[in-house]
Amino acid sequence: MYELADVRKVFDDGSVALDGVSLTVGRGEHVAFIGPSGAGKTTLFRILNLTLRPTGGTLRLDGIDVATLSGPALRRARMRIGTIYQQHNLVGRLRVVHNVLAGNLGRWSTLTALGSLVRPREAGQAARALAQVGMPEKLHARTDELSGGQQQRVAIARVLIQAPDIILADEPVSSVDPTLAVSLVILLRDISSESRKTLLMNLHSVDLALTYFPRIVGIRDGRVQFDLAPDKVTAELLEELFAGHADEEREVAALRAGMSPFGRACRPLPGFDR
């Protein structure tokens, strides 16, 4: 699905966000990305969803070098990748139904898109997607009147409508409470498994990553620090990954002491005293 070879990203201000990332992700795989804030995970996801262009290296999507894509071909490729953001990135003033149906914009003509704002097209489809994320009754609510967790569900429903082959979730649960976080991660995992979608997720919570993902990639200073199955990710590796980042170090220490904000929802981690 994805092949990254020595992908680099240097921003115009000279800051190096990615410093040579090489990685292969197969179809249907579920991968969690962890690492301290500022490690370059969000930049990596913005490159993976074809928003940013790497300044070095190559990114292949199903064998095609995405640097060669432009115009309609680029839009078609983007349609195959659904992204969920930490801040939902919904249009607050639109009703939920329109935010959900916006997943169709890659397919719709301008006229169809305009017409749907007047009279929602395929509202049934939107209702089914909302039902799938567990809030069918909110179809006609104003989006900015929903809670953070509900908005994240709307964002997931939008991705369902988009029907991509790949789902990228960039810190999707950082702004919701722990119970909701677990249910959203499970929801995304189940949705992806059902239709064999590839799922890549940036996670701030190490224990969510280790519990729900079969493959863990640790990113630090724009490089891949490790790429392992969760049972191979030791406390020492995590301490090294987060070294120098006080907040995250404290969280890893708490995990080692057997304290997880998610309680029973996350299984005990191997190699941790519990």
Q: How far apart are the first and last CA of the chain?
A: 38
How far apart are the C-alpha atoms of 214 and 230, rounded to whole Å? 6
State the DSSP H helix or E strand holding residue 192, giving kind and residue range, or none if neither.
Answer: helix 178-194
Is residue 83 a contact residue for another protein (CB under 8 A)? yes
CB of 166 to another protein, least distance (A): 12
How far apart are the C-alpha atoms of 243 and 216, rounded to whole Å? 18
Task: Please say which residue, 77 or 180, places its beta carbon nearer to another protein.
Answer: 77
| Beta-sheet strand order (sheet of 2-10) | 16-25, 2-10, 56-61, 64-65
CB of 99 to another protein, least distance (A): 8
Kindly identify the residues of this chain, within the stretch 27-56, that bind another protein according to CB under 8 A.
37-43, 46, 49-53
Task: Please say which residue, 53 or 196, places its beta carbon nearer to another protein.
Answer: 53
Is residue 195 a contact residue for another protein (CB under 8 A)? no
Compose the 160-179 pattern: x for residues touching another protein by CB under 8 A, - for all others.
--x-x---------------
Task: Please say which residue, 43 or 260, places its beta carbon nearer to another protein.
Answer: 43
Kindly identify the residues of this chain, within the stretch 236-255, that bind another protein according to CB under 8 A.
none
Q: Where are the beta strands (DSSP E) in 127-252?
A: 166-170, 198-202, 216-220, 223-228
- Region of 216 please: left (phi>0), alpha (psi -120 to 50) or beta: beta
How far apart are the C-alpha atoms of 270 and 274, rounded to whole Å? 9
Kindly identify the residues of this chain, within the stretch 62-81, that bind another protein according to CB under 8 A.
70, 74-76, 78-79, 81
Instruction: State the pairing for strand pair 198-202/166-170.
Output: parallel
Interacting residues with another protein (CB under 8 A): 11-13, 15, 17, 37-43, 46, 49-53, 70, 74-76, 78-79, 81-83, 85, 87, 89-94, 98, 102-103, 105-108, 110, 113-114, 117, 155, 158-159, 162, 164
